[in-house]
Structure 1
């Protein structure tokens, strides 16, 4: 537990510090996390990083997450990227005479989208005009409040299992506590900066962040059960890998971007 707390405090301080600084430092951190996250994903599925399908997956991740606009480069739309990536991955099944199967190709396509677009949405959020930092902290604040609320409310009042076949320790009471804490944080943002965001929209962001974030956690738990592993990696002692720590982020940020709750 001591190691877990120390790691969490140090990693959190570094992350928040770079988020405040923004620019290429924060973007570089997210790009690095995306690369490590996809490495974990490929390893979970028994695919070496050097395998052609993995290399295509890395290319897809980088196409999504790199800040091409910084360099004045226009890249294809996300749908075009996905189609071309799907075509190339399916071509590998032919070239390798099904040593790489269609299932393997689909897994790499899914990983590139899940990891690449997930971190890309975080980059986009921080780049929102002059208010990117506030939007970023609002989203992360709601996600982290949901995690804290679910943990402490679950420990204090949890009796009814939420989804025992996927995550046996999570409870309905804890999940509701997570939603409540997230709504409180979003309301505080709206009340503290009324000219920035109105209360109804802030509460909607808080609700989406809490519910989608908890689903993100369950999605990763379900995947790890299928692969029979405890953690996706060992990057953060006591916390696991990037996908273990960022599972909520990878669902919440794309959803907030796609629903235009974040004005990217």
Structure 2
């Protein structure tokens, strides 16, 4: 527990410090986290971590996180084109290796690159917004997610009796999940109250709800995946906490969700 606390504090201070600074240092940190996350994903699948096929995935994650706004890119270059090209490369591997790399393996690596690359890219984009309030939006989502996690944990410990999804995550309870939703909404509404009109109360409720529900789905997705491969943690880079994917599983589902459904005016 002591190690977990120390790691959490040090990692939190480092991450939030670079988030406050913003700019290229923060963008590079998110890119590094994404690449480490993809390494953890590949390792969990029990495929060669730095095999030729996996390298395509690393390249894809890198390109998703690359700050294209800082270079002169051709008009029309977007995530859709990158995703399609990435898919084509992965599927072509099955042909050039004469099915030594199967479509199942290629599909797994492609899925991981899209899941992790797009997820972290939206975390990165949230800090750099046209309205200049990227720090506010980033903190809003992060604190709501963390609040949901804490609320679910402590509510579950105190009054949790009904298992939420025992086949996937035996310790989670319905009562804990509800507690997480309530805390996330309260936090989001507090942000709205002190936002100076930047965020309305109704929209804040929706943001809090999304952070809790989609965040918990992201957590369950990671739990389901780890259960398939019989592992507890995705990695060991954060002593007492596991890997990058263990800590960011909610982030990489919540940030894209609120962007794509336009809950916030990024």
TM-score class, shorter: over 0.9
1:90 aligns with 2:113: no
Counterpart-to-counterpart distance in 2, 1:60 and 1:134: 29
Query: In the alignment, which of 198, 201, 218 is matched to residue 220 of structure 2?
Result: 218
TM-score, normalised via structure 2 length = 0.97
After superposition, the CA RMSD in angstroms is 1.1
1:92-112, CA deviations, whole angstroms, 9 ceiling, x for partnerless residues?
A: 101111110000111111011
Aligned to 2:17: 17
Aligned to 1:257: 259
Counterpart-to-counterpart distance in 2, 1:227 and 1:68: 36
Structure 2 unaligned blocks of 5 or more: none
Aligned to 2:144: 142
1:167 aligns with 2:161: no
1:176 aligns with 2:178: yes
1:187-216, CA deviations, whole angstroms, 9 ceiling, x for partnerless residues?
A: 101111241111001111110010000000
Counterpart-to-counterpart distance in 2, 1:173 and 1:72: 51
Aligned residues: 264
- 92-101 or 47-56, larger mean C-alpha shift: 47-56
1:42-100, CA deviations, whole angstroms, 9 ceiling, x for partnerless residues?
A: 11112223212111111111111111212333572212111111111111101111110
Secondary structure of 1:168's partner?
Answer: strand
Counterpart-to-counterpart distance in 2, 1:56 and 1:207: 36
1:112 aligns with 2:113: yes
Runs of 4+ aligned structure 1 residues displaced above 2 Å come to 71-76
Query: In the alignment, which of 130, 133, 142 is matched to residue 131 of structure 1?
Result: 133
Aligned to 1:26: 26
1:73 aligns with 2:73: yes
Aligned to 2:209: 207
Counterpart-to-counterpart distance in 2, 1:21 and 1:78: 26
Aligned to 1:238: 240
Secondary structure of 1:234's partner?
Answer: coil
Q: Following TM superposition, by how much is the alpha carbon of 1:185 offset from its aligned partner in structure 2, in angstroms?
A: 0.2
1:51 aligns with 2:51: yes
Aligned to 1:37: 37
Counterpart-to-counterpart distance in 2, 1:8 and 1:73: 39
Secondary structure of 1:235's partner?
Answer: coil
1:135-159, CA deviations, whole angstroms, 9 ceiling, x for partnerless residues?
A: 0000111100000100111101101
- 44-53 or 118-127, larger mean C-alpha shift: 44-53
Counterpart-to-counterpart distance in 1, 2:21 and 2:262: 25
Aligned to 2:8: 8
- Do the aligned residues in 2 keep the contact of 1:125 with 1:262 (CA within 8 Å)? no
Q: Following TM superposition, by how much is the alpha carbon of 1:261 offset from its aligned partner in structure 2, in angstroms?
A: 1.6
- Do the aligned residues in 2 keep the contact of 1:82 with 1:109 (CA within 8 Å)? no
1:100 aligns with 2:101: yes
